[in-house]
Amino acid sequence: MGAPVSVAPAEFGSALRTLRSSQGLSLGDLAHLVNYSKSYLSRVETGKKQPTADLARHCDDALGGEGRLIRIAMSVPRRRTQAATTTPSVRQLPRSITDFVGRVDLLRQLDGTCPEASDGQYRGSPLVLVDGPAGIGKTETVLHWGHVAAERFRDGTLFADLNGFRQGGSPLTAEQVLRRFLYDLGETRADLKGMDAQQLGVPFRSLLTGKRMLIVLDNATRPEQVRSLLPASPGCMTVVTSRSRMPGLLARDGALRLQVPPMAPEESLELLATLDPESRLAQRPEYLDACGHIPLLIRIASRRNMNPEFYDSLYRRESAAMLRLFSMVGDDSTSLRSLLMGSYEVLTGEATWAFRLLGTCAEGWFTVRDAARLLDTGQSAAEELLSELADIHLLQYRDGQFAFDPVHRAFAIERAGAVESERNGCQV
Ligand SMILES: Nc1ncnc2c1ncn2[C@@H]1O[C@H](COP(=O)(O)OP(=O)(O)O)[C@@H](O)[C@H]1O
Ligand SMILES: [Mg+2]
């Protein structure tokens, strides 16, 4: 009969059942055809018994599987323990950097949200929203924490980049992500095919019942993109990252919000010292202020061979030079302009206009009333436009006032110039 093959029994069993049913055969019929007992086949189909290569071959021949069953039987590494055979171990967190600095408060808050079970009982499935502007360190902070906290999630980690706010990109739908997660968790039921996101959420939640898993949904755009992906099982935890403040996820789904602020000046200096202890950027606080204390920009600036004019333009915050400085040729996903375009593209036409105008004219911290005057609109219209900009962190908000950080202002000025040139018939 041969030795059991390297396969997750549930996956093989499910494929066998699907193929048998598609041929209109009962278990008894198949037992007769392949000369194995009906009870043995039943145990294989329900994932209780590991199939052998011989069985896979016989069933393939008998059911016209054209090698499918034998391919499944040979493709998946064997799980050794009982727990692992019922829960394929998934550890999907991408690599995190080795020179991570600071963010102690955020790491502590993430730790504090982790489900604890002092009496063996977990209560609720925490949901955390980590939000902030592009390059501020949302993903990196969650990854850094997730790798350290991984051992608290014994059943594994699921990770998906939902592809939100990417220039020219299209965000993944909840349905696409659920299909991938279900597949990664070993669910191969054929009847999933016709299901929508809401329906797919049911087997997903069932699979996670009783499990201790961390689910990281990176770069989300809207609450609908994540709602069907939320586990219900106490002991699981979901962390969503987004440039959006997602008020709906906080209000309706009770997410805990952790906003990632710019680095504190001493954190920026620590990062710089880690990257390049000789860096000229450390010589004047204005240089790091011009980077908005955004770690991505500090890293880019520290890696550039800057000539004295660049330092000068950074000091004077010249928009064109700043955008040039913070770009990496051939690597759009690391370039400031491309990152900010990803946010700019999702704005309504009116908000792009307000962004350009305010970025060019508004100074320091300003109020709704100031904005209404500059935009020449009523206060409620100005308030709506400001919320739209602040909700995706194109504008800073604090205590009823708004402000541009240097890089967002540089980008707004550049966009205003681009629109102007377009109007004048120039190529942008
Ligand atoms: N705390 C940190 N220490 C060192 N580098 C950091 C830190 N946070 C972010 N970075 C760097 O900045 C880059 C951008 O961070 P990321 O988390 O991708 O930003 P976001 O997800 O907010 O757009 C990272 O690739 C990493 O190189
Ligand atoms: Mg990110």
Which domains are present in the chain? 9-81 (1.10.260.40), 90-259 (3.40.50.300), 273-327 (no CATH), 338-423 (1.10.10.10)
Is the CB–ligand 1 distance for residue 234 below 6 Å? Answer: no
Residue range 161-170, pLDDT digits in tens: 999 999 988 9
Q: Tell me which residue of 14, 19, 58, 51 sits closest to 35, measured CA to CA.
A: 58
Residue range 62-100, pLDDT digits in tens: 998 877 787 777 764 544 444 434 455 799 999 999 999
At 366 the pLDDT is 98
At 128 the pLDDT is 97
User: Rounded CA gap, 99 and 196, in Å?
Assistant: 42
At 1 the pLDDT is 44
pLDDT > 50? residue 111:
yes
Residue reference for tokens 């982790």: 114
Is the CB–ligand 1 distance for residue 300 below 6 Å? Answer: no
pLDDT > 60? residue 193:
yes
> How remote is the CA of residue 163 from the centroid of ligand 1, in Å?
17
Residue 292 sits at φ, ψ, to 5 deg, of 65, 15
pLDDT > 60? residue 58:
yes
Going by alpha carbons, the residue nearest to atom 17 of ligand 1 is: 137
Ligand number nearest CA of 301 is 1
**Strand-strand pairing, 396-398 and 401-403:** antiparallel
At 407 the pLDDT is 93
> How remote is the CA of residue 42 from the centroid of ligand 2, in Å?
46
128, β-bridge pairs: 239, 256
At 4 the pLDDT is 56
- 8 Å CB contact between 314 and 290: yes
At 121 the pLDDT is 67
Q: How confident is the model at residue 317 (pLDDT cuts 50, 70, 90)?
A: confident
Q: How confident is the model at residue 123 (pLDDT cuts 50, 70, 90)?
A: confident
What is the average per-residue pLDDT within 208-228? 96
Ligand number nearest CA of 99 is 1
What Cα–Cα distance (Å) separates residue 117 from each residue in 37, 122, 127, 272, 347?
45, 5, 17, 40, 43
pLDDT > 90? residue 182:
yes
Residue range 335-379, pLDDT digits in tens: 899 999 999 999 999 999 999 999 999 999 999 999 999 999 999
**Residue 362 CB coordination number (10 Å):** 21
